[in-house]
A and B are shown apart, each in its own frame.
Chain A
């Protein structure tokens, strides 16, 4: 017999938006499916005007996936965020208002920041308050890094773990707040959900552990509600134990799990919704 939580998970409706140069939809959908959620992949064009009548409000979770929407031309996420701003802002704001969850990974995070979905201080959800600028070392780079989940963050996606290894794959991931005051408030309100750490587990500005030179080692930011998370590294690329570069050594030590750590982030979001759906009390 599936537990109440398990059956509630199948009721969690997740929307993965595709198209226009995005490319991480398959693995992101797989991540949510591994957590038991129902996933629909919908092209942005159909979300704006769906012949089958699907709407954002039909879903509990919106996933903005990684990729190169519009080639990251002008700056990463800008053209895509602009399209959402001018063609879907009302439904997005309503979705957030109604308690929806948003997970933006890499290009999705860039889009969220430029659209103003995070950090959204004072609940100003369509105002850009920060940016993700070009990495200090120019160019896209793919290498694994380690992030630390900030325990005091309200983020619902990053609970129950301390350190996590994930691949970092981007050219524009340096978080810069609009002003020192904005940065101070982000820190004071614990909106930093994830930070890059060195091999002692301490936040670092040093490359390559901090791949971009990101301010305060910020790797992921949430909104004040904690339901909206944007992060640069890719939990969607760590779905299996053997996705980790060190899996052959882990296997030799007898410690190769079937599931990758990245799934925990998806599971947190799915279970957050599932608990609400099943009416059980949320445990933090």
Chain B
């Protein structure tokens, strides 16, 4: 029996969701609806008495503001009603909580399959059926995960209330297939494509050849396995060997060609340019100070660095691009709750402290066509924000950094970066927390959520471009509360020493988590029939590779198992013993008594044939624009501040918590009215200490249009400079590299693959060079290499994008300096060298050009300056410190003044470098290595003493009048009202 309960607001009580929906229908879809009211619907699928049903109804209804009814609640007048509910199998977190309420309320056992399903009704006035359909498809329901029905008033009232539930009821009997690989190359490629394995021909051949080996055949006969691989084995190999998991392009052997130079061969960009650079920095630290603060880098789920005697700091940033393109809300939410599991699955697990997010979208104001199969960027942006807001807030983790970049090339695939900083005790239960090892005999315990078909083929699918055949089940919906309960339980278990190793179930599901953990013991025997399922009917291969969310895998010593399971039960977390870690040398998978996979670990992890690729660089030619002599620099500044790339995104950002845990010191927004983005954020790491961390980042995909080498140098410099300017220590600063690239492998689909690969080589070489120069080691990173979309016959590739994130230590958090000016009369200094570097700048792009003069970087010039700024901060000489980045000096001056709600009056002719430039370059060049700082006049002598040997100029003063006056070339170039500029700067993204 199913009980249907409808809940709505009482007449006269505001319906905020209805009002917000109405607003979006009108402003985004342009449909002149006149009213929207919404109802919540609960379908309780359990045998309840009438009294019980009535009690449940009462308890899900707010007695003050709401009304409700069993079956149907009488709506107010409307034209069309739209019913939106989940498709079968989609996570319904609200339903789960409602079931907990029902159980508490009834205090009697319910049948095991009892469930609550939620859905919504929207009663819309002022629309016709076509408009109601447009509202459903364009706003209220995502067909991948939700279904909707539309009825007019007469139809609705004449039809019986719908009590059908989206339960998965299948008669499918789980089975295991053998896959015949004896066919020709074409057949192998077809198998890979049809099963979404994303394996290349070489890889398919390697698998075929492996299974043909006599010793393998003999072993399989012993186990009663077919000669051919089973679907379980093939799928497991495909997950393990996916680009997502094995980083094949970063590990490929690459021949790099450049005109006029001998070709160079790199064996693995990861090893030569990233890992080796970090190792050299570690050696440098050991030589210079006798110790290194690098604790655990690259081999675990996140990087670990030393912080103080008690705790280490853990950091990881991930991307979740493809899922966010298909289901922005669910994809982005799993992006944030997924990356939470990385620090949590590092060593024996870290407490989670702060999140970071950053997104690359097409302009939400986009009014051109959107290729079929893609969503409008405004809808993607709204959904992504909502997903990360809810995921982060419900997990109780504040955000530390947030940013957005807009470019039309992100129309095909948005980039959704999510990261998490954690803190781990140096030791827990008497053991070092940063290491872990499953031991032979340890039990394989999976805990958290259950397994369903959600997220099958996520890893292999994200290793391919997006097209119309992309699998819908690759989308998962997060359930942050299930995960939060699991984390609370696991922290207790960690402190009690109840497990030996932990890792998350992310890409590849159990195949990856067990496959990775068992390398330390030397093997595993896993019984898939024991795995808890959301619903029956999953084949063993699906259980093995499902990426259903909120799951961690543990290695538990047999004598600790009872205590662990007991604690799990008390904390309302499901934990299941799925088998045993062994030292047999193989991953043996059974389904009950039947063996369904036998994969030697050396083949699973080392059998992947190396990729050989060619990269060919040719510098692009984008003519420099000829600037008209009568440029209105004030108007240009206002136009740049209105550009979404430089405009305020505070409206969305305020929906993210940034204070929970009570550790926040410098927020993502600072200034007199707390509305200006900070250069870097500062947090305590724990209560009772005044040491903290500084977080910042650099990103500038626009520079890739000229040269990814200087793009990379610039984003490293941006991140480092912003952190130093806020008070972070350059000698205790670690970096994370997150690469998002268009497919860099030449093929019919990607004829320019060699160029894109050359862009990658130039970028990683620069990463190595400049990280070493700054002594900022990469401790973790990730690459996402197939950010192309072919939808409706249109191929869209993203510009090569590198996010460089840093975390630095600050000894005393109140030494931190923010970017906003503080007092009239303060002196304004420009530090560093401004050059004629307008290439790919915000100004050039505003004028429709790219140009050639990309900003460069000379660490021998910047490092002494950064050390000088550090000294000045330690001596508390600075009132404000701001790093000019995109938009150049003019935007930086405007921001620092707007932040302090004061004015600035400067003469750039006082700076010898700026004086020598055209006014446009002096104002808008995006040269690296610069700061704008302000300080009290009585500090100037001490400050200038700090700066001995560095390029600097005192260029003016902070004024009480709220205007920005900039002189250059003996003329007043900008004389702008800062109130007006600030309004312009806020308007663009406040409107969407």
Interface residues of A, Cβ cutoff 8 Å to B: 18-24, 26-27, 30-31, 43, 45-46, 51, 66-68, 70-75, 78-79, 82-83, 86-87, 128, 130-131, 133-144, 167, 169, 176-178, 234, 236-239, 242-243, 245, 247-249, 251-252, 256
CA distance A104 to B654 in the complex (A): 23
**In the bound complex, CA of A136 to CA of B394 (Å):** 21
Inter-chain contact A136/B14, CB cutoff 8 Å: yes
- Least CB distance from B117 to A in Å reads 13
From A72, A135, A237, A248, give the contact of B817 (CB < 8 A). A248
B97 touches A79 (CB 8 A): yes
- Whether A73 contacts B93 in the complex (CB less than 8 A), given A133-B65, A237-B662, comes out as yes
Q: Is B481 an interface residue (CB 8 A)?
A: yes
Q: Judging by beta carbons under 8 Å apart, are A242 and B98 in contact? A: no
Contacting residues, chain B, for A139 (C-beta < 8 A): 20, 389, 655
Q: Which one of A18, A21, A43, A128 has the greatest number of beta carbons of chain B within 10 Å?
A: A21
Complex CA distance for A104 and B965, rounded to whole angstroms? 51
Q: Which residues of B contact A (CB under 8 A)?
A: 13-14, 16-17, 19-20, 40, 59-60, 62-65, 93-94, 96-98, 100-101, 104-105, 107, 389, 393-397, 479-481, 484-485, 488, 570-572, 654-665, 667, 670, 672, 674, 687-688, 813-814, 816-818, 822-823, 879
Q: Are A71 and B94 in contact (CB under 8 A)?
A: yes
Interface centre among B20, B40, B674, B687 (most CB of A within 10 A): B687
Q: How far is the CA of A89 from the CA of B298 in the complex (A)?
A: 51
Are B822 and A131 within 8 A (Cβ)?
Answer: no
Least distance between A133 CB and chain B CB atoms (Å)? 5
User: Contact at B64–A131, with CB atoms within 8 Å?
Assistant: yes
Question: Smallest CB-CB separation from A182: which chain B residue?
Answer: B64
- A70, A131, A142, A245, most chain B CB atoms within 10 A: A142
Whether B62 lies near A82 (C-beta < 8 A) is no
A243 to B666: give the CA distance in the assembly, Å. Answer: 8
Report the minimum CB–CB distance from B4 to chain A (whole Å): 16
Which residue from A23, A86, A130, A167 sits with its C-beta under 8 Å from B395?
Answer: A23
Cβ A74 vs Cβ B60 within 8 A: yes
A-B pairs with beta carbons under 8 A, tally: 175
Whether A138 pairs with B818 at a CB distance below 8 angstroms is no
Is the pair B814, A134 in contact by a Cβ cutoff of 8 Å? no
- Across the A-B interface, the 7 shortest Cβ-Cβ residue pairs: A23-B396, A27-B662, A73-B97, A131-B64, A71-B481, A138-B16, A70-B97
User: Chain B nearest CB: distance from A20 CB in Å?
Assistant: 6
CB distance from B841 to the nearest CB of A (A): 30
User: Of the candidates B19, B59, B94, B484, which one forms a contact with A82 in the assembled complex, judged by CB atoms under 8 Å apart?
Assistant: B59
Whether the Cβ atoms of A243 and B664 lie closer than 8 Å is yes
* Contacting residue for B485 out of A20, A74, A83, A87, CB 8 A: A20
A-B contact pairs, 11 of them (CB 8 A): A19-B571, A21-B394, A23-B397, A30-B662, A30-B688, A43-B571, A74-B40, A131-B62, A138-B20, A242-B813, A248-B817
Q: Report A254 CB to chain B, min CB distance, Å.
A: 12
Which residue of chain B has its CB nearest to the CB of A31? Answer: B662
**Closest chain A residue, CB of each to CB of B662:** A27
What is the distance, in angstroms, from A42's C-beta to the closest C-beta of chain B?
A: 12
Q: Are A75 and B62 also in contact (CB < 8 A) when A140-B389, A242-B665 are?
A: yes
B493 CB to nearest A CB, Å: 13
Contact of A169 among B14, B63, B100, B659 (CB under 8 A): B659
Known: A26-B662, A68-B484, A131-B64. 15 other contacts (CB 8 A): A21-B481, A27-B662, A43-B570, A43-B571, A71-B93, A71-B94, A72-B394, A78-B101, A79-B98, A142-B657, A176-B64, A242-B814, A245-B674, A247-B665, A256-B814
Is B879 touching A27 in the complex (CB atoms < 8 A)?
Answer: no
CB of A35 to closest CB in B, whole Å? 13
Q: Which of B105, B389, B656 is close to A86, meaning CB atoms less than 8 Å apart?
A: B105
B19 A138 Cβ-Cβ under 8 A = yes
A242 to B659, CA, bound (A): 12
Q: How far is the CB of A115 from chain B (nearest CB, A)?
A: 12
A133 vs B394: C-alpha distance when bound (angstroms): 18
Q: Which residues of B contact A45 (CB under 8 A)?
A: 570-572
Chain B residues with CB under 8 A of A143: 654, 674
Contact B665 A74 (CB under 8 A): no
Smallest CB separation, A104 vs chain B (Å): 16
What is the chain B residue whose CB lies nearest that of A260? B662
Q: Which of A22, A135, A142, A177 contacts B654 (CB 8 A)?
A: A142
Q: What are the residues of chain B within 8 A of A131 when measuring CB–CB?
A: 62-65
